[in-house]
Amino acid sequence: MAAPLNLSGKVALVTGVADDVGFAWHIAKALQAGGADVILLSHPRVCSIVERFLTRDKSIESRQLPFGVVGEFKPKALLGCDVACDTAADIAPEMKGEKGYDFDVSIEGAFARVKELVPAVDIVIHSVAFSPEIGKALPDVSRKAYLMAQSVSAYSLTALCRAAAPLMKGREGSVVGLSYMASERAVPFYGGGMSSAKASLESDSRLLSWFLGEGGHRVNIVSAGPYASRAAKSIGDIGAMIENTAQRSPLRRAIDPDDVANAVLFLCSDLSRNITGTTVYVDAGYHAMGT
């Protein structure tokens, strides 16, 4: 069988893969199943973990491609990239001795390695988010943690677009970021300043759609419903969130990561060539409800 959309000849950069259950992993598999060459840009500290998921026997099932496409997920490359650092000068001296930081893992350094691998890039997936105080309610979040959440979770979209733009020239590329409904509604347990960061991410995506649109590139956001990823388990009772969404959404069901991956696949395909600057909700319609 073949994927429903053809991305043959395209190169996709996917950030945020840290395991084999998160949205980024499923998105990367869907893009490969569609025919794209996938390069993973993962945080330097988790690259060795991701490498194990890509090679160990016990993860064979999770590596199987979707849509009935025969084969396993095998990215063209796995590169370390700390999206909080634009250049090598931004990497703190004490970090340079840490695991994964034995070379330039800034955005500039990562893209220098991307340029050695491929002549051009068509797709950029922004699936990174972090706050060092994710467990704290907004009134208790420190300024430092709040700004870190903004830097990693929001500004990095702008930084990645700036770095990718030269490689996307003449390609009519697609940039897709992942968000959550807390960007526009009060979700008290979504702490660490992350609600503000997601609001910034969505706002920046709209403005970036204008600036990148001159080159024919599209910038969109997928706002996903709750899903029990490893990261989501740190922000509250994810089981209760999923159950509440399933009960109150128009479709009366929860989402799974393939739902999000399929929406991203569409936004990366030529079928969405005139869709940009928008947020697509993949939450069984929950965002449309008043309660």
Told to judge if 101 belongs to the known catalytic residues of this protein, a careful annotator would answer no
Closest CA to 278 of 175, 196, 150: 175
Told to judge if 286 belongs to the known catalytic residues of this protein, a careful annotator would answer no
Distances (CA, A) of 260 to 33, 99, 136, 185: 15, 31, 27, 20
Spatial separation of the C-alpha atoms in residues 109 and 126, rounded to whole Å: 17
Which of 101, 146, 190, 227 is catalytic? The answer is 190
Which of 101, 180, 227, 286 is catalytic? The answer is 180
Catalytic residues: 180, 190
